[in-house]
Structure 1
Amino acid sequence: MVDFPEVGEARFQAEVLGAQIPVIVEFTNDGCGLCRVMEPALASVAQEYDGEVRVVKVDTDRSPDLAERYNVRSVPQLFMFVGGELKARLLGMQTRGAMAQMIEANLGDAA
């Protein structure tokens, strides 16, 4: 399993909204079985787009204010931020192809 960095409320502004490259945020928690199933696909996409996109996690149990701010009511959810702006959101378990499609659709916004 890949160990993506966890970002909480204190670092979200700098590491996600202020990032120089697009950021995929996986909203998750320790009890999310679908998140663990989706992990290999997310790791594959992170490796393919290494240097172009960063992947981080937000644990909804440890960062409930972030979950509320982005209206996360269930996990997993993937958000793509480009230039500090929320550009895309995928709800529920996703395939590698769906993740790659989200990234490709929004990478041009990073230029």
Structure 2
Amino acid sequence: MLELDIIGAWDARAVNLDQEEADRNVYEFDLTLWNLLSTLAKERPDDAASQFSLGMDTVQKLSLATPSQLEALASGVLILFQTRNSRAEHHHATLWRLRPCSFYQP
């Protein structure tokens, strides 16, 4: 059966980190998050600092990070991110970006 709460399942596995092996899906997801954070640091450094509780020196280093440096930061065992926004805010932001035709029902 398809796991609906993927992040929750990965967090539950984090309890046994010493017994875990790297998972390619976790690694790729974590790498995607690092790349998004790096892009945010380049384009909106103040938002990156406030949303991820980072100092501006860290934000600057992330904005200059090379792909190989970001790959080294990504984990295949644990997701390393947690924003300070609520799920409701993320949900609202996602719906705001959808086009009205997405909700068309004949």
Greater share of strand = 1
TM-score, length of structure 2 as denominator length: 0.28
TM-score, length of structure 1 as denominator length: 0.27
Greater share of helix = 2
Q: Which has the larger radius of gyration?
A: 2
